[in-house]
Amino acid sequence: MSDLHATAGRQATPEPPAAGNSHVTTAAVSIRNLSKSFDDVEVLRDVNLEVKQGDVVTILGSSGSGKSTLLRCINWLEQPERGTIHIAGERIGMNADGRPMSVKALARVRARTGMVFQSFNLWPHLNVLHNVTEAPIHVLGQPRQEAEARARELLDKVGMSHKQDAYPNTLSGGQKQRVAIARALAMQPEVMLFDEPTSALDPELVGEVLGVIKALSAEGYTMVIVTHEMAFSRAVSDQVVFLEKGLIIEQADPETFFTRPRTERVQRFLERHQ
């Protein structure tokens, strides 16, 4: 994992927003007026969020606040009822005319995001290396050799190159999650989405995964992270978003959020979690 910092250095270079068209922005992720319900329960209510390139945004909130749903809307694993989401300026899920995208077009936009799941979701029939190369070869059409060379680099980055021939069922939770991170990185996504990446891990394994994510943030990756780890959120974020019953009730830089929260709700939340 040592070369993580050696290769660090890519700086976030936000470009000025394109004039005229309000939907085309250079934000890595731009969420406008997003609403979503399951049956009759509103899980997201008119959510707006901009994630600038190179930024790390952590989403906090108690369980059931809608934070995982928000993350899963970004790559259209959940379909919102209202609102728009743009990934690096490109709308996901719907065409400009408001009709659902074709499965191919949707897959192409999804390929610009990378997702890391709470339960890892590695593919058990493929070994570690092939878990990482599967999508670059069969989605991006990369030549196998190139994909494998890049996969080895990424596995090295997450400290898993010694396990490249192992199958997922022989790995620990922390190792699985690090492979899952390499798998998502292999697609060279515009934004990495982390859905509670350490919640399914034994406490002693949490550190190795958070360490990898921290190193990625130092390299300038754009990331949206749903998490329960407060100290981690504070250390890694450029922006902290607090979700409550589907509403963003507080959004601030980590310093302000953790030391001078505006709402009583967040104060109570922080007291309980520190």
Partner 1 sequence: MNASAWHMLLEGAWTTLWISGVSIAMGVTAGLILALIRLARVPVIDQLLVLYISLARATPLVTLALFIFLSAPTFGLQLDRNVAGILALTLNTTAFNAEIWRSAFRNFSREQREAAMATGMTPWITFRRIMLPQMVITSLPGLINEMSFLIKGSPAIAVIGIVDLTRVTNRISAVTYEPLPPILVACVLYMAIIGGLVWAQRVAERRANRLAV
Q: Which residues bind partner 1 (CB under 8 A)?
A: 75, 77, 103-104, 107-115, 117, 119, 121-125, 134-135, 138-140, 167-169, 180, 183-184, 187, 193
Instruction: Say whether 148 sits in a helix, a strand or coil.
Output: helix
Bridge partners for 115 per DSSP: 193
- CB-nearer residue toward partner 1: 63 or 172: 172
Q: How far is the CB of 109 from partner 1 (least distance, A)?
A: 8
Write down the least CB distance from residue 187 to partner 1, Å: 6
From 109, 22, 126, select the one nearest 73 (Cα to Cα): 109
Residue 263 CB neighbour total at 10 angstroms:
12
In the complex, minimum distance from the CB of residue 218 to partner 1, in angstroms, rounded to a whole number:
24
- Which residue, 75 or 233, is less far from partner 1 as judged by CB? 75
Give the whole-angstrom CA distance, residue 191 versus residue 49: 14
Burial 158-172 (b: 16+ CB within 10 A, else e): bbbbebbeebbeebe
First-last CA distance in the chain: 29
Min dist CB 204 to partner 1, Å, is 20
β-bridge mates for residue 55, sequence order: none
Q: How far is the CB of 90 from partner 1 (least distance, A)?
A: 13
CB of 29 to partner 1, least distance (A): 14
Q: Tell me the pairing of strands 82-87 and 29-38.
A: antiparallel
Q: Which is nearer to partner 1, 74 or 266 (CB)?
A: 74
Strands 191-195 and 223-226: parallel
Residues 219 and 140 sit within 8 Å (Cβ to Cβ): no
The span from the CA of 62 to the CA of 112, in Å, is 29
Between 128 and 248, CB nearer to partner 1? 128
The whole-angstrom separation of Cα 49 and Cα 74 is 11
User: Judged by CB, which is closer to partner 1: 157, or 176?
Assistant: 176
The residue (of 72 and 261) whose beta carbon lies closer to partner 1 is 72
Q: How far apart are CA 31 and CA 36, in angstroms?
A: 13
Is the Cβ of residue 188 or residue 263 nearer to partner 1 in the bound state?
188
Tell me if 29 sits within 8 A of 85, measured CB to CB.
Answer: yes
Q: Least Å distance between CB 268 and partner 1?
A: 33
